[in-house]
């Protein structure tokens, strides 16, 4: 699934070469900085235009009976835009600042992919040389997926396709609704309308942010695939299984060092999108003349970002469970070796379970309950504030 990595690289979420070796020319490496630098300049320009357009709007504004409601909606919109801008800028700059660790992570991850391919098609050096042909056929029959294949890719490709098409439709519909509406580009003053800087551009950044959890899912899928092959391949001696498992755990820890805080912020951004979209959906349902396009966009946004959170949490739980299965099998084999008279404890230390853990939380399905509670609580608070105003 090089597509998701290429898209992440283009949008500034993976500022590193995707090939097996780095570029020979140092000036080429500057190209990896371009997406992040462009995004930062775009954000600065957007903030500047918001300030200018608000001042111009204030000079021509007329006080109405709905002034309090308009102010409340404007504040919610500004908070939402700030959430988009902060999330995208922080994550891209944070990843760019960790390019050295990212290079190490990419190198170790490629080694894991090579190991994954060898698990299905190569014999372990400890086996008898006279049985090489028989064992190769046996291993290739047992492991299922062929070299370079991943059992999670077909489903992931479907998820990627649906989510990217959905985000593209939402972005296109949002720009079309703004440019061709009476309050947008229809009157020729779209460039000075605060809505384009507080709603359209920040929301576009927010939708493009969805590529970040998909990029994480790509790596998590490969960890799951390697653990599947490792747990189902009984021909690999348990000592080598322990070494491979430890290497996976080391790469996962490095992944969390690079992306851990970004994952937490992305989760907060997704939760905020769900809360605000649900709030605007509830608000529009009270109106006599509701906007069908806006409601459809809000419903789609709620489903998309809820699914992104669920997808990452589910893969975190799957990773923990598969790692637990491998470690339990490893301990059973260690006990068997000890019964046979070998000193297994000195050569094979106890494996540690692989867990997706940041400095703030563990990423698994146990997060879903508090996330749902947070969404409902904040949604109720926003609705009560709206009624009070």
- What pLDDT score does 318 carry? 95
Pairwise CA distance, residues 218 & 61, whole Å: 49
Pairwise CA distance, residues 95 & 92, whole Å: 5
Pairwise CA distance, residues 21 & 32, whole Å: 15
Number of compact structural domains in the chain: 1
Q: Please tell me what DSSP assigns to residue 193.
A: -
Pairwise CA distance, residues 242 & 348, whole Å: 7
CB 238 within 8 A of CB 338: no
Helix (H, G, I), strand (E, B), or coil: what is residue 188?
Answer: coil
Pairwise CA distance, residues 186 & 180, whole Å: 5
Dihedral through CA 148, CA 262, CA 207, CA 99, nearest 10? -60
> What is the share, in percent, of the chain residues with pLDDT greater than 70?
74
Pairwise CA distance, residues 315 & 222, whole Å: 11
Write out the residue range of the structural domain in which residue 38 sits.
2-388
The tens-digit pLDDT sequence of the chain (389 residues) is: 678 999 999 999 998 887 765 555 666 677 888 999 999 999 999 989 888 877 776 665 554 545 556 667 778 888 889 999 999 999 999 999 999 999 999 999 999 888 877 775 443 333 333 343 333 333 443 444 555 678 899 999 999 999 999 999 999 999 988 888 655 555 545 555 778 888 899 999 999 999 999 999 999 999 999 998 887 766 666 677 788 899 999 999 999 999 999 999 999 999 999 999 988 888 776 665 556 777 888 899 999 999 999 999 999 999 999 999 888 877 766 666 544 444 444 455 678 899 999 989 999 999 999 999 999 999 888 888 777 66
CA 63 from chain centre, in angstroms, equals: 44
DSSP for 60-126 reads: T----TTHHHHHHHHHHHHHHHHHHHHHHHHHHHHHHHTHHHHHHHHHHHHHHHHHHHHHHH---TT
Evaluate if pTM is beyond 0.75: yes
């Amino acid at each position: 699934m090089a597509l998701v990595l290429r898209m992440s690289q283009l949008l500034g979420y993976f500022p590193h070469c995707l090939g097996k070796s780095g570029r020979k020319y140092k000036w080429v490496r500057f190209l990896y900085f371009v997406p992040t630098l462009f995004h930062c300049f775009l954000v600065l320009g957007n903030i500047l235009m918001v300030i200018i357009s608000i001042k111009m709007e204030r000079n021509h504004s007329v006080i109405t009976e709905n002034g309090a409601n308009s102010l409340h909606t404007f504040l919610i919109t500004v908070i939402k835009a700030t959430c988009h801008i902060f999330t995208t800028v922080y994550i891209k700059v944070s990843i760019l600042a960790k390019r050295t660790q990212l290079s190490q992570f990419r190198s170790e991850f490629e080694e894991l992919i090579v190991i994954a391919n060898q698990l299905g098609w190569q014999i372990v050096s400890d086996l008898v040389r006279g049985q090489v042909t028989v064992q190769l056929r046996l291993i290739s029959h047992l492991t299922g997926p062929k070299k370079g294949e991943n059992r999670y890719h077909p489903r992931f490709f479907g998820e990627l396709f649906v989510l990217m098409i959905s985000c593209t439709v939402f972005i296109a519909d949002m720009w079309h609704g703004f440019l061709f509406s009476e309050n947008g580009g229809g009157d020729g003053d779209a460039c000075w309308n605060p809505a384009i800087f507080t709603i359209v551009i920040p929301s576009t950044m927010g939708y493009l942010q969805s590529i970040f959890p998909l990029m994480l899912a790509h790596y998590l899928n490969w960890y799951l695939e390697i653990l599947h092959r490792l747990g189902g391949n009984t021909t690999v001696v348990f000592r080598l299984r322990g070494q491979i498992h430890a290497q996976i755990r080391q790469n996962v820890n490095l992944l969390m060092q690079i992306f851990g805080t970004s994952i937490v912020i992305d989760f907060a951004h997704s939760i905020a999108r769900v809360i605000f979209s649900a709030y605007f959906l509830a608000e529009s349902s009270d109106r006599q003349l509701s906007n069908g396009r806006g409601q459809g966009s809000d419903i789609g946004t709620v489903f998309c970002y809820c699914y992104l959170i669920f997808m990452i949490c589910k893969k975190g739980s799957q990773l923990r469970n598969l790692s637990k299965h491998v470690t339990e099998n490893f301990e059973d084999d260690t006990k068997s070796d000890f019964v046979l008279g070998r000193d297994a404890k000195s050569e094979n230390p106890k494996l540690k379970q692989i867990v997706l853990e940041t400095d703030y939380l563990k990423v698994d399905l146990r997060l879903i309950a508090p996330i749902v509670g947070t969404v409902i609580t904040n949604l109720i608070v926003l609705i009560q504030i709206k009624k009070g105003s």
